[in-house]
Structure 1
């Protein structure tokens, strides 16, 4: 059953909806290859999957050849499958997050359609598409979106199962799908996949005193289904690697949440600006979203017990996850991406009840933002930093100007459509222009991200790197070059996040700089990747080094003269690599 809010305009023809959906999918998936991978997450997970693809070992996760047990494998499995089907590359590395983002939108639209009707389902999809955090996370190779897509499935399938008109068979089926999605969430990022839904459910039942809800969760069969999804990998990896359980469950869960062991500190307000940015186009609807919850929109009493309140569940889902990560001692921006599907459904119900006058104010607010953004583009062109010179900011400013110009045009179109065709076409233009604005801005980041990726150094490195030649990461773990080179690094002196793996297999790394220098001088041709300070320090020690390539972040050197300058002085033969893509 759906809410009683009136439909005030005819909506959009199915043909138009189909064309818009196709266009959105083309933009969503067609832009995955438009940027090179960024460090650390994008390069790390792309490389782990590449090593899994090359080795054929889908159980013991390795990064740079070292055991890497910080996260479970589902995201990596999907990425590796993409490599199997389409080859190794940037867009294949992002395929898992892109699919997760679209799957999350589809699941929430399905739940919204069941509770509130097709109009609200369409509005839910538009709301999620226009949320900057969702669209950006759906194009950034990280576990956060894969987890968020799975958790969107958990929420949506639970909402579908708890509809009062659901038959016993349908409720059982949707709840089994919910538990399976929870298993996927656990296989993506660990016990948080069950902790977050469990926390939301406990809070909901305490607030509503609807303890009968627990009888409708099909706990026995559901938990069995979740265990079928999760236990095989945990069993196999623990059997092959006895050190796994303590590191994964104690260090990566309890210590990560309760301490700053990973140096990811942040105040309790850390996620507030990220929430505001992620909900930016819909912030003006916040009072209406609260009204939707307070008036129990969609709640209908079933055959027995208290009525299930889908809007309240979405609010509690958001609040529980937001509070959980705000209280954690470890914080990263992507942690709160799972809150946005629940907020999107509340936004959609609020939009379904909005009048033209109020909606016009929403358009005007974003119109002002668009004007400010266009005006700010020339200022961006004046910026300069050590890592990114002014020429980079000048190029990025063009994207900023175009992005906000698109937003400006979209808001003007939304105003016109409101007058001529009604609310729904206007809302669609509003949401789609915001989606395009975020997409263009993200594409523009390539002018900065390309430099960080090191991809322009690859041709010069490949010109001298031989298959049997050692490749050292000297005092640093580079997160992108190994992927683009198709080679793992031997870590020197600083294991970074590979400390656990280095302890398990100590012969695979060189623990001191002195031992590395001795190895470097032994006559075997080798290359090393190092930071600028390390390069300067080794140069001062007169360690023989010939610069193969360098950028503003790192230097790649050899211990043998380069063919183009055999008589040149070591370390004085620095020649920047040609800045061409591989």
Structure 2
């Protein structure tokens, strides 16, 4: 007699029909309200912060320039060729602008949707293999994992890639279920290959290299060579190439320099060397993994047991070994973690693609966790929240990354509030466990964790607002005209050009635009002397400088201060109305910062 969860997993129609009235013993309206609450928190907070540099401002501005120019093939940043990444993320952001206008939440819509898509498909795969309860708990674990939900609210390529990779893993799992019909297996495998094409179109060869690595490792461990015959490789590879290849062919045809820069410099040299100066120890990702999965660390023993006990595996009737979904998820997470730990280039977002696999395993472990073990998990988080609350005043003492201490003092309040919400969520989970059972407790706990980490992220606006330069945008816009140059003197400002709707012309330091500047040297000023000459004898212009550069250059050439903050000074080479007010120095008080 098959286990009830296995029978439900093999009969999705039965799940749907029963879910229409009750889900896990609860009226259907309650899960629907829970989903609505999660969705409102997930999408409703996208526009409550201003963009941060470098990544958020960079990709927002690239998409804005793409939409404005109508050139969706040759990617440009501040008017210069920018071939570090493929265009899928920027395409989706430009489409968001076209549909909803240009703004902060529109710039983040792509990552929020990618995170939600990866979450939803991971839940479906977990439910198919491990039962409905595991599918629901997998969604709760992943949605409330800080690394996943924070990444889904930052305009970077990491979450767009991770959403596509989550679809790769989930589609593969769904295709390999023993109850899948040949037609269903083919459809899910084609979806898997299409998602790999999107991943390749988002961040390059890593989109196919990582799934390939996991597949090789899985085969080596299980000796299940029959799996390769179920991949529909011929049709799948053709579909993947159909998704990804046209842009690569078109951009290489228009820009012969693309192939060497993208595949040699941005792939081989990035991974094997420190050319990008993003170094880190082999254990660089360990604290990020711990912090990124913090609310659910107590599930790790259960996750290991799920793999060792081959959770979800059905007894095989044929000669081929049965597919092991828990092992596949574990190898997926492990391979990604080790792959990037060995890389010469490390950034926090690189390991985000491993979290859907952790979410699935966490969901399986949580579905089989008893009340006693769950109580220990919640109490541990209660203690961690209390420690965080007691330690939050330390944030108010920081003065790092050239950020004024006054901003950290503001953020310390938000950090304390986030820790208080962690405590409240854990306490509420204990109360719900006694009154309404474990599923209600887990749901309340997960929502509370998502709320707490969302508050911590939203509170960063205390620092991020001034860093974005949004307060300078209005006074500069009153002076800057579309036909005027906007110089970035020795600095690449990643956010203010987006808010000004005006690209920079780089001066003296090309920064990450060095490749584009080398390809089109007429579009930048390579020396300060060239800038001084253009400033004195060229057309009306506006420039952004650091306070130090302004102090040095204002002694050489006339500069009319438009606005300033602790990071930058905006000046013009002509007098304008209201100049006297703009010359007033900015106070260091928290109210003005």
TM-score (norm 2): 0.93
1:466 maps to 2:501: no
1:103 maps to 2:125: no
2:68 to 30, 50, 54: 54
2:537 is paired with a residue of what secondary structure? coil
Q: How many residues align?
A: 575
Separation in structure 2 between the aligned mates of residue 281 and residue 177 of structure 1, nearest angstrom: 32
1:393 to partner: Cα distance: 2.7
Match runs of 1:357-436 below 5 Å: 357-384=372-399, 387-436=402-451
1:377 to partner: Cα distance: 3.5
Question: For 1:274-295, what per-residue CA distance to the aligned partner results, in whole angstroms no more than 9, with x for missing partners?
Answer: 0000111111121111111000
Q: Is the 8 A contact 1:3 1:297 kept in 2?
A: no
| 44-53 vs 281-290, greater mean Cα deviation | 281-290
1:548 is paired with a residue of what secondary structure? strand
Match for residue 527 of structure 1? 542
Match for residue 15 of structure 2? none
Match for residue 483 of structure 1? 498
1:547 is paired with a residue of what secondary structure? strand
| 506-515 vs 150-159, greater mean Cα deviation | 506-515
1:10 to partner: Cα distance: 4.9
User: What are the ranges of 5 or more consecutive residues in structure 1 without an aligned counterpart?
Assistant: none
Q: Is the 8 A contact 1:105 1:341 kept in 2?
A: yes
1:217 to partner: Cα distance: 0.4
* RMSD (Å), alpha carbons: 2.2
1:255 maps to 2:264: no
Match for residue 296 of structure 1? 310
TM-score (norm 1): 0.95
Match for residue 279 of structure 1? 293
Separation in structure 2 between the aligned mates of residue 494 and residue 11 of structure 1, nearest angstrom: 63
Q: Is the 8 A contact 2:6 2:131 kept in 1?
A: no
Match runs of 1:10-409 below 5 Å: 10-302=24-316, 304=318, 305-384=320-399, 387-409=402-424
Q: Is the 8 A contact 2:59 2:155 kept in 1?
A: yes
1:6 to partner: Cα distance: 13
2:26 is paired with a residue of what secondary structure? coil
1:509 to partner: Cα distance: 0.8
Q: Is the 8 A contact 2:56 2:154 kept in 1?
A: yes
1:441 maps to 2:478: no
Separation in structure 1 between the aligned mates of residue 413 and residue 25 of structure 2, nearest angstrom: 36
Q: Is the 8 A contact 1:183 1:229 kept in 2?
A: yes
Structure 1 pair 552/386, CA: closer, same or farther in 2 (3 Å)? farther
Separation in structure 2 between the aligned mates of residue 342 and residue 232 of structure 1, nearest angstrom: 31
Question: For 1:335-378, what per-residue CA distance to the aligned partner results, in whole angstroms no more than 9, with x for missing partners?
Answer: 00000000111111111111111110001000111222232334
Q: Is the 8 A contact 1:165 1:302 kept in 2?
A: no
1:529 is paired with a residue of what secondary structure? strand
1:35 is paired with a residue of what secondary structure? coil
Structure 1 pair 510/389, CA: closer, same or farther in 2 (3 Å)? closer
Q: Is the 8 A contact 1:473 1:492 kept in 2?
A: yes
User: What are the ranges of 5 or more consecutive residues in structure 2 without an aligned counterpart?
Assistant: 9-22
Separation in structure 2 between the aligned mates of residue 467 and residue 118 of structure 1, nearest angstrom: 56
1:464 is paired with a residue of what secondary structure? coil
